[in-house]
Structure 1
Amino acid sequence: MKRIAEYRKLFNAAANTDLKELKTTYRNLVKEWHPDKFQDEAEKAEAELKSQKIIDAYHFLVSIAPETKEANLAEYTVTTTESGIADFRHKGLLLEVSFMDGTTYEYFGVNKNVYSKLINADNQYRFAKRNIFNSFLYRKSKRDLEKA
């Protein structure tokens, strides 16, 4: 959640910012922080780090944008209703769930209490289906996209 807030602050974006506005802001930030604009080596190095952060933030915000979620909703619904859980990992407030069909999704804001209930549930898939899959902000994992 901290990362989401940080990226939204960088882009001055609200939770419901549309992709067109996000893209415009991204282009303006990239122009502003392009390393070739700076002559001093220290400034150039700082601009390179900042531009990399801008690129990462843009890709992340696009992956959790409402339009992206809506476009991929059918695939997500099929995965969460027809494919069982192969594996899951929890770190901080991030729960990464790998499904039997090979896809992996990240769920943001899953606290330790919910994770403990998932682990101790009689049927983890049923618990996740009722309490995690449609309750938390999610995105398709980068690791999954790299495999494809």
Structure 2
Amino acid sequence: MKRINEYRKLFNAEADTDLKQLKTTYRNLVKEWHPDKFQQDDEKAAEAKQKSLQIIDAYHFLVSIAPETKEANLAEYTTTTTESGIVDFKLKGLVLEVTFLDGTTYEYFGVTKHVYQGLINSDKPYRFGKRNIFNSFLYRKSKRDLEPA
């Protein structure tokens, strides 16, 4: 959640900001912090390079959790969460990463240790996930997809 808040603050974006506005803000920030603008000062150039990498990462992340992106991928997500079982899951901080049998991996944000313990202790983790995680937490498709089995 901290990552989401930092990125939204960087882009001055709300949860329902549309993709067009994100793209406009992204372009303006990249222009402002492009390392080539600071070639005279090595220290400023290094800072600008770091900032531009952060802006790029933030943009890709915010696009992946944007309502429009989620809506466009809803059919695929619904199919995965209703028809495919869980291969693996792990919690890193408040981010639960779930890998499904069809090879896709989703990250769920804000998952507490209490909910994670429920998933671990459940006789049927997939059923627990369907009831308590898949439609309850902010999610995005992770870049770490497996090859389909």
Q: Secondary structure at the match of 1:51?
A: helix
Cα root mean square deviation, aligned: 1.3
Give 3-state SS (helix, strand or coil) of 2:145's partner: helix
Distance 1:33 1:143 in 2: 29
Secondary structure in structure 2 of the residue aligned to 1:62: helix
Deviation at 1:116, TM superposition (A): 0.3
Structure 1 distance, partners of 2:144, 2:43, is 33
- Runs of 4 or more, structure 1, over 4 Å off, are none
Mapped partners of 1:119, 1:143: distance in 2: 22
- 1:57 is displaced (CA, Å) by 0.1
| CA distance in 2 between partners of 1:92 and 1:64 (Å) | 18
- The one-letter code matched in structure 1 to 2:48 is A
Secondary structure of 1:144 counterpart: coil
Matched, 1:83 2:87: no
Deviation at 1:121, TM superposition (A): 1.0
Alpha-carbon distance, 1:12 to partner: 0.2
**Scaled by the length of structure 2, what TM-score is found?**
0.96
Is residue 23 of structure 1 aligned with residue 20 of structure 2? no
Kindly state the Cα deviation for residue 122 of structure 1 after the two structures are TM-superposed.
1.7
> Who is 1:124 aligned against?
125
* Residue 20 of structure 1: how far off its partner (Å): 0.3
Q: Using the alignment, how far apart are the partners of 1:17 and 1:94 within structure 2? A: 22
Q: Deviations over 1:10-54 (max 9, x none)?
A: 000000000000000000000000000012000000000000000
Q: Structure 1: give runs of 5+ residues left out of the alignment.
A: none
1:32 corresponds to which letter in structure 2? Answer: E
Matched residues, number:
147
**TM-score when scaled to structure 1?**
0.97
Letter paired with 1:89 = K
Measured in 2, the distance between the counterparts of 1:136 and 1:31 equals 34
Cα distance in structure 1, aligned partners of 2:33 and 2:145: 30
User: 1:144, CA displacement in angstroms?
Assistant: 1.9
Partner residue in 1 for 2:61: 60
- 2:4 corresponds to which letter in structure 1? I
Instruction: Give the equivalent residue in structure 2 for 1:9.
Output: 9
Q: Which amino acid aligns with 2:101?
A: M
Once the two structures are TM-superposed, the CA of residue 143 in structure 1 deviates from its matched residue by 1.4
Alpha-carbon distance in 2 for matches of 1:121, 1:44: 51
Gaps of 5+ in 2: none
Once residues 143 and 82 of structure 1 are traced to their aligned partners in structure 2, the CA distance between those partners, rounded to angstroms, is: 20
